[in-house]
Amino acid sequence: MDEERRLAKNKLISLSKKETLLRHENMVTKTYEVKIQENKLRKRQREDIERIFLEAKWYKNYILNWMNESKDNKLSKFNTKQTEITKKDKDMNDVAVEIKRLPAQSRQCLISRMVANLRTMAALRKRGLQKSGKLKFSKEETAIDYKQIGNSHKIINKKRIRLQGIKGDLLVNGLEQFYNIPGVEVANARLLHRATGYFVQFVCFLPKACSQEQPGEEKKIVGVDFGCSTAFTLSTGEKIQATVPESERLKRVQRDLSRKQKGSKNRVRAVWKVRKEHQKITNRKNDMANKIVRNLTKNYLVIIQDEQLASWHKGNHSKAVQYGVLGRVKAKLKQHSNVIVLPKNYPTTKLCTKCGRWHDELKLWNRTFKCQCGVEEDRDVHATQNMIWLYEHLKVGTEHTKLTRVEMESLVKGIIHSNGQTPSVKHEAASL
């Protein structure tokens, strides 16, 4: 009987999971970050938080040690109910410790994260990008996951939250970002230890309609191209620089760090100073990205193209990418309801929409787009104008996304023909 009841219960859970997934499909995901008011922490709470991060480190290292002991010890076989573990002291002797604060679900999340890391490493090693396939012992853990809203974490009111393993309410700043949004669903959370304090990230699902602005007057359309050297270009011809330079202070604290002796307390202090500086730069970048996104989406219907930013990290563009905020802007734009993302296979750079020629010979370093039909313009501006043209003539999110090169060519040619602009030359060149 009990077995039957258990199965019925499992079925119910999987059903409601499916429902939730379906519901979330029509929603927008957003991550909000709140800061724990450290000066309002009680002594006991501060100890709890510090203990949680410590326990996470011990736990992870204990599992790694256990995995090293035998080949049969696989992550999936680790008994997550076990709370009596050992840690190494200074002289590498085992000391028994008990997991008291780190919640069971967070422990499971920690293991899933390890599994995910192992998978990524294995994939990288396969491609020859990385030598080792082993996880390293960690000196500290800086993120704790909370999986189940209402159980592992709660939002009490506009100012207070509760996290499993920490006694009492925590006062936080920043909940107003999402607390009052109608229809918002809070999902998992993550407690972070940063040089600038303790933070909690909340993953939220918002109804699409609510993040959309009222359909009033029609918005102007703008195409945005994310170049790497000139930051980004608008179809209006405007070019916007978006970089946050490395601060002088960062250089200084990094220099200080390099002079500190390994294993010394001064070195630990210097590491945190460097982190704090990095955090400040990250904050500046986020701020800049937010402003750019807000300005664009407030005034325009924005069209961008999905492409891989990651490949730019190689080669001499790396510095520009590192200091830039393009990755952030793009990620934020992609989530926005006022933004249309063109698929990768749309010919935004190579097509001449006046005559229908394809310019495959155009290289990344060619900064001007030139066509035999007389069109000559800045490469990036040309791309953004093509984005608008393609958006207006092809449908996004339909079968067009899967068109091959040849099919795309004939489709585009057909459109240009029917627009009454007869291509001046035959298109043999296109097959090159």
With binding defined as CB under 5 A, does residue 430 bind Zn ion? no
Q: Give the shortest CB-375-to-Zn ion separation in angstroms.
A: 5
Q: Give the shortest CB-254-to-Zn ion separation in angstroms.
A: 51
With binding defined as CB under 5 A, does residue 36 bind Zn ion? no
Q: Give the shortest CB-231-to-Zn ion separation in angstroms.
A: 27
**Cβ nearer to Zn ion, comparing 28 with 375:** 375
With binding defined as CB under 5 A, does residue 373 bind Zn ion? yes
Binding-site size for Zn ion (CB under 5 A) equals 7
Residue 63: C-alpha distances to residues 53, 98, 266 (Å): 16, 14, 30
Give dist(CA 58, CA 52) in Å, integer. Answer: 10
Give dist(CA 159, CA 157) in Å, integer. Answer: 5
Among 36, 52, 186, 352, binds Zn ion (CB under 5 A): 352
With binding defined as CB under 5 A, does residue 27 bind Zn ion? no
With binding defined as CB under 5 A, does residue 371 bind Zn ion? yes
Q: Please classify residue 243 by burial: count the beta carbons closer than 10 Å to its beta carbon, then call 0-12 exposed, 13-18 middle and 19+ buried.
A: middle
Nearest Cα neighbor of 301 from 387, 366, 402 is 387
- In DSSP notation, 132-170 reads --SPPP-S---EEEE--BTTTEEE-SSSEEEETTS-S-E
**Cβ nearer to Zn ion, comparing 62 with 389:** 389
Among 317, 354, 393, 427, binds Zn ion (CB under 5 A): 354
Q: Give the shortest CB-428-to-Zn ion separation in angstroms.
A: 15
With binding defined as CB under 5 A, does residue 355 bind Zn ion? yes
CB 384 within 8 A of CB 224: yes
**Cβ nearer to Zn ion, comparing 147 with 382:** 382
With binding defined as CB under 5 A, does residue 309 bind Zn ion? no
Q: Give the shortest CB-421-to-Zn ion separation in angstroms.
A: 10
Which part of the chain contacts Zn ion (CB under 5 A), choosing from 21-29, 213-221, 294-302, 350-358?
A: 350-358
Where do the H-state alpha helices sit in 242-374?
248-259, 265-299, 318-323, 326-335
**Residue 115 is encoded by which pair of tokens?**
């599994």
**Cβ nearer to Zn ion, comparing 60 with 379:** 379
- Phi-psi label, residue 286: left if phi above 0, alpha if psi -120 to 50, beta otherwise: alpha
Residues in touch with Zn ion (CB under 5 A):
352, 354-355, 357, 371, 373, 375
